[in-house]
Amino acid sequence: MDADAAESADAAALDGAANRSDAGRGAADGDRGSIQSIDRAAEILALFNQDTQHLSVAIVSERLGLNRTTAHRYLASLQSCGFLSKNRGPGPLLDQLAAFVFGRRDVLTLAPPIMRQLSDRTGLTVVLSLLGHSGPVVTLVEEAAVGPIVLTVRLGTVLDVQSAQARVLYAFQSDPSVVARHLSRLDEAEAIKERAELAKVRRDRLAWADPSHLGHAAVAAPIFGSRDIQAAMALLGTTQMLPNSERSAEAVGLLREAADKLSQLIGAVPGTRPAPRKGHHSL
C-alpha cells in the first residue's frame, strides 16, 4: 500500500471519532467555526518553507496537533480550492496570488524614477494609482519641481469614479463583476455615458478626467503586467497647463512613453496587452 492509500485508510478508520470530536468543538465554538477553519487553513499553508515544500497528513498532524482525519480533510479541501497542487505543494491559486503581489511590488519599486523623469520633462505632477476594494487609490506622487502652480494629491486618496485613473483601471479590468460594481455607483444615465467612455479608453489606451472638475485636468495611461492591468499613471495640471486638445500632444506622448516603459519593466510584452476574460467587453 502506498503512502497516499495508507493516509486515506487511516483517515477512514478515524473518521467517526474525528467527526464526534469536531462536532463537540463546533457546539462549543458556535459562530466562530467558519473563522477557525480559515485560521486553521492559514496555519497549514504557513507550514511551507525552504525545507517543507510539500505537505502530508503526517506533517500537518504532528506540527499542528491535529488528528490525522482532520488533517486529511483540510489538505483535501485546500487541494480542491487550488491552494495546494496534486502532490500537495503550493497550488495554482497561491502562484496567482504571488504573481499579483510581486507585480504590485515591482510597480512600486520601479515607478518612482520613471515618474520623476516624466514630471521633470512635462513640468506637471505625476500620480500612480492602484485599484483597491473601494476604488482607485493614490499610491505614489511625484510633484512638479518648478512652476508657479503645483497641483498635488494626498497619498491614500480614493479617486472619483470618473477620474482619469479610475477610467483606465476599470476599462482594462478583466473581472466584469468589478466593473459592474463600479458602474452601480452611478445613476442609469451616467452609467450609460461611462460605458461609452470606458470603450473609448480601451480604444485609445488613454483617459481624461470628467471635465466637470472645473480648473483641474488629468490624463492617464495604463500600466500592464504580464497578465492584467497593474496600475494607472496620470499627469495632473490646470486646464491651462493640460488642456484636452492638441496643445497637450507632447505631454500625452511622454506619458504614453513612460507608461509603456514601466509596463515592459514589469513583464508586459511590447505592443500588446493581456487578453480579457470572458465578459470583459459586455459593458
List the domains of the chain with CATH numbers: 3-90 (1.10.10.10), 94-265 (3.30.450.40)
Could you read off the pLDDT of 204-226 as tens digits, one per residue?
Answer: 999 999 876 667 899 999 999 87
- The answer to whether the CB of 78 falls within 8 A of the CB of 90 is no
Retrieve residue 222's grid coordinates. Answer: 495604463
More confidently predicted of 57 and 17: 57
Instruction: Please state the separation of Cα 139 from the chain's center in Å.
Output: 13
pLDDT value for 283: 32
Could you read off the pLDDT of 157-178 as tens digits, one per residue?
Answer: 989 888 999 999 999 998 888 8
Neighbours of 156 (CB within 10 A): 9
The yes-or-no verdict on residue 273 having pLDDT over 70 is no
Could you read off the pLDDT of 175-188 as tens digits, one per residue?
Answer: 888 888 888 888 99
Question: Sign of the CA dihedral 45, 51, 57, 60?
Answer: negative
Across 93-107, 208-222, 247-261, the highest mean pLDDT is recorded for 247-261
pLDDT value for 14: 41
User: CB neighbours of 236 closer than 8 A, spacing ≥ 6?
Assistant: 124, 125, 126, 127, 151, 152, 153, 216, 217, 218, 242
193 pLDDT band, cuts 50/70/90, is: very high
pLDDT value for 250: 96
